[in-house]
Amino acid sequence: MINMLVKTPGALMVNAFMGFFLQYKALVITCSVILLLIVNIFIRIRRRKKRKEKEREERIVRPVTDVIGTNPEHLAEINRDLKPFGFAYDPREDIFYSTMDAWQRKYGYCRLYDEACTLFSMVIDCEPIPFKYNGINWLIEFWKGQYGMTTGCEVGIYYTTGPNLNIPGVFNGTFYHAVRDEDRINMSFALKKNGNLMFTSSAYHWWITGFKLGEFSDPDELSMDIILDLLDRRMAYAFAEALMKIGYTNEEFGLNGRRVYVRFTKPHTSQPITRTKLTESIAQKNNRSFCDSYNKLTEAYTDTLDKLEIVRNEDPDMYGKILNMGKPRKVYEAYEQIKGYDKAYEQIKGYDKEQ
């Protein structure tokens, strides 16, 4: 009988729990409710996250060529649209590039072109490098920065045998022609953003370019690694001396025979006077807006050709801006001004006839 009155450890624990529960009943109930709410909230968040991920996957279309044609057909169509503007699209690098017979070729180069860039929403670093070789005045120039709704870069080679132009109120300086076919060189570059490779380009050309659509950058985020195979060693040495003259150091360029290596980060030459903090700020604000609008409109697509098709169908004005990438025709209005002066135009006209 005495053994029956002895409580087991389990019974003692139950009694203790019941005593604690009765004494702190309100606290226990409150904690239990809070715990249930936390678990419920956690489950709902998990479900909502999975639902959003599913919706995001459903919004992405890969690809839409079954509807708008095959990639080769689409590429040919886009390049037909781009041809009048002097460009074509490279799907391997996902960039737009200048063609050999681009209309820009006949306009050559003068400093007024660089001065006009910021006024047309192009915030770019310009690096003109003049030098003399074989009794001819040559110019090789590098550019990098934001061209409207594209991030891009350029390398061009030009020359002239004519005198400097002095047109009061218009221009005082050298007008250069794009080199003829026999004077083209092998050029290549790699464009990097904050040290990360964006794209590369290489060609036997007079003007190589690359433009990445929908990418927004400040010029100081970009750098170019450039390789130039000049006509011979003497030309390479003349160009190397010109680089040193404007401030390039041995860490920024190298020489191997007729090949010159250049790293273009910060320009060593004076930049266009039209590029002020105010004009740059206004232009970049517009450029960022252009990029955001393009990326928003095409966010459901992963392929640039598909994106271009959507833009062409849904926003023709934006499509027109894309086609008119790089330096638009208005930048070259200075050429028409120069042509208005007979003496100054003689060197241009004579060159054009020889082409």
Q: What is the pLDDT of residues 286-302, one digit of tens each?
A: 999 999 999 999 999 99
The pair of structure tokens assigned to 309 is 């098709």
- The candidate with the shortest Cα–Cα distance to 330, out of 118, 143, 125, 51, is 118
d(CA 115, CA 160): 20
Residue 76: is its pLDDT beyond 70?
A: yes
Tell me the pLDDT of the chain averaged across its residues.
Answer: 86
Q: Is 153 helix (H, G, I), strand (E, B) or coil?
A: strand
Q: What is the pLDDT of residues 194-237, one digit of tens each?
A: 999 999 999 999 999 999 999 999 999 999 999 999 999 999 99
* Contact of 338 with 171, CB cutoff 8 Å: yes
- The candidate with the shortest Cα–Cα distance to 327, out of 148, 186, 75, is 148
The pair of structure tokens assigned to 92 is 């391997």
d(CA 59, CA 63): 12
Residue 25: is its pLDDT beyond 80?
A: no
CA dihedral 315, 320, 322, 324 (to 10 degrees): -170
Can you give the length of the chain in residues?
A: 355
Of the ranges 28-37, 58-67, 318-327, the best mean pLDDT one: 318-327
* Contact of 111 with 252, CB cutoff 8 Å: no
Contacts of 200 (CB under 8 A, 6+ apart): 93, 188, 189, 190, 191, 210
Where does the chain have alpha helices with state H?
Answer: 2-5, 9-23, 25-59, 65-68, 71-82, 111-117, 233-246, 277-297, 304-314, 316-323, 333-339, 342-354
Percent pLDDT > 90 in the chain is: 67
- The candidate with the shortest Cα–Cα distance to 243, out of 224, 257, 262, is 262
d(CA 4, CA 70): 89
pLDDT of residue 53: 67
d(CA 273, CA 126): 12
> DSSP labels for 205-216?
ESEEEEEEET--
Count of CB atoms situated within 10 Å of the CB of 245: 12
- The candidate with the shortest Cα–Cα distance to 160, out of 131, 185, 186, is 131
- The pTM assigned to this predicted structure is 0.78
d(CA 58, CA 51): 11
Amino acid identity, residue 213? L
Q: What is the pLDDT of residues 1-15, one digit of tens each?
A: 444 445 566 566 656
Contacts of 271 (CB under 8 A, 6+ apart): 125, 126
Residues 93-111 have a mean pLDDT of 95
Which carries the bigger pLDDT value, residue 19 or residue 81? Answer: 81
| Band of pLDDT at residue 69, cut at 50, 70 and 90 | low
d(CA 150, CA 326): 8
d(CA 302, CA 158): 38
Give the rounded distance of the alpha carbon of 264 from its chain centre: 16
